[in-house]
Structure formats: C-alpha cells, structure tokens
Amino acid sequence: MIVIKVGGSRGINYDRVCADLSGLYQRGEKFVLVHGGSYETNLLSEKLGKPPRFVTSASGYESRFTDRETLEIFSMIYCGKMNTAIVEKLQALGVKAIGLSGVDGRLLEGVRKASVKIIENGKRRILHGDYTGKVERVNTELIHLLAGAGYVLVVSPPAISFEGEAINVDGDRAAAKIAEALKADKLIILSNVPGLLRDVADESSLVPHIIPSQLDSYMEIALGRMKKKIMAAGEALAAGVGEVVLADARIEQPILRAVAGQGTVIKA
C-alpha cells in the first residue's frame, strides 16, 4: 500500500497525476490519494471578499487561520471543486475512484484547537474561533471496506473533531497519519517543487537523500510549507512507514518517478 499526497499549490498538473495513478491502478497497485487545495482556496477567498489569513505560530509554523466562514470556503474548494474533479478525472480513466473528506464516516478524527498562539509584528497574541486540529485517529475499517471492494480513495481535509465539528488539518500530516494507520510501505508527498531544496531559488540544489535520524537538522533549510512536509515525513517514519519521498507534481509521470526515487528520498 502506498499513500500519495498531492498538494494544492499553483502549477500542479492534476491531469498528469491522474494519468499516472490510472497506470498504477491498471497494474493492480493499491494506493490512497490525499489532495490539497490551498491555491484555489486562496483565490475563492479573495473573490468572496474574505482574504486568506496566514498566521505564524510561536513555534514558527505557518498555517491558515480558519474561522467558520473560512472553513466553508475551504470545504467548497477541497471537497466540492477539487475532490469532485479528481474523482471525475479518475473515473473517466477507468479508475473506481471514490472521494471522501475526513468528516465522512469520521475518516480522520482529531482534537479541535479553538485558539492559536501567534506571533504578529513581533508580539505574541492569541486568536480565538479557529477550526483547526491534528488527525489522531483514522477510520481504517472504512478504508479497508472500500478498498476491499476495489475502490480507490481520494481523501481531502477537513477532518472532524471528536465532538463532531469539521476542522482544517494539514494535508501532509494527515497523509502521514493515514500511511501510519494503513502500515503503508511508502508515503509520497508531491508538490510544486522537486523536493527539499538547499536554496529555494535553485531547483538543482535538491537534497536527494536524508537519513531519518538527520531529519531534524534539515528543518532549518525547509521554508514555509516545506517545514510541514519534513514534519510529516518524520512522523510517518517514526510510526513505521518505510520510506517517504518528497517529489515534484508538475512533471510527466510524477508518481512513477517519485516511486523510482526522483526527489528527496527519506529512509534509513
């Protein structure tokens, strides 16, 4: 079993991703796809007069502040537009795809963090009314039920709190949690960069291989959203996933190339 996360940043070509997935499917490979939608969520937020608000936590991680209105816009893009379109593309290619958010059947459950400590203009502040959280439990029975009947799962945030509120969760870390729960051999995290770069302005500065024990030391060169990917990789490996590959979603056959080791391969 492979878990594949494809980001939602600008420049990602979902046609290529889906063509590649249909190849895997025809060969009988088992996989779960997790997708993002951040770029389109930003666009819709702007259009609806509710510009996205990104905050930096006291520990240095960037995240989308998600009040209830933002959560609805987020769901419109992730579950409505993106998930439906990906499932449609896969179905047109003959893949028995089925789309689920983490809310469906409590697929991805966690604790809601209703407030977030941020650093703004150098000062600490607390923002309330946040609908975010972290996945702590995966409904593997539901995944096995559907996978056992031949369906391919296309999974999207939001997740659901134990109290039953939809919560925004990081897609990379959710994918890591799914990989852990399914005891996956591999977690592939595709985005609009070739992997971890020593210099973000230079795509040839790719770090081709990282030993898990040295992952922490790479946190410093990981900028912005890459920090969460490194964190997700660390969590997956610590939980028993054999290998994590950070790779490029923009190229032809992005998944096959990642499986073959093109990107940043993190394993012992």
* Closest separation in Å from C-beta 55 to its own copies: 23
CA 23/CA 268 separation, integer angstroms: 28
Our CA angle for 36, 127, 101, nearest 5°, is 25
- Residues in contact with its own copies, shown as a per-residue x/- string from 235 to 254 under the rule CB under 8 A: --------------------
Q: Are 99 and 84 in contact (CB under 8 A)?
A: yes
Asked if 65 is part of the footprint of its own copies (rule: CB under 8 A), the reply reads: no
Interface with its own copies includes 260 (CB under 8 A)? no
Q: Which helix (H) or strand (E) holds 233?
A: helix 226-238
CB of 190 to its own copies, least distance (A): 23
Assess 138 for contact with its own copies (CB under 8 A).
Answer: no
Among 48, 219, 238, 260, binds its own copies (CB under 8 A): 48
Instruction: Find the binder of its own copies among 9, 42, 63, 83 (CB under 8 A).
Output: 83
Query: Which among 89, 105, 87 is positioned nearest to 97, based on CA atoms?
Result: 87
User: Site for its own copies (CB under 8 A): how many residues?
Assistant: 41
Interacting residue with its own copies among 53, 55, 62, 81 (CB under 8 A): 81
CA distances from 252 to 10, 16, 28, 59, 159 (A): 16, 6, 21, 36, 31
Is the CB of 103 or the CB of 169 nearer to its own copies?
103
Shortest Cβ distance from residue 189 to its own copies (Å)? 24
Helix (H, G, I), strand (E, B) or coil at 212: helix
Which residue from 10, 46, 58, 96 is in contact with its own copies, where contact means CB under 8 A? 96
Beta bridge partners of residue 266, listed in sequence order: 210, 244
Q: Which of 10, 11, 46, 47 binds its own copies (CB under 8 A)?
A: 47
Backbone φ and ψ for 231, nearest 5 degrees, come out as -65, -45
Q: At what angle do helices 171-181 and 226-238 cross, to 10 degrees?
A: 10
User: What pairs with residue 64 in β-bridges?
Assistant: 54
Q: Should residue 36 be labelled a site residue for its own copies when binding is judged by CB under 8 A?
A: no
Sites of contact with its own copies (CB under 8 A)? 44, 47-48, 72, 75-81, 83-85, 87-88, 91-93, 96-101, 103-106, 141-142, 145-146, 149, 151, 158, 160, 163-166
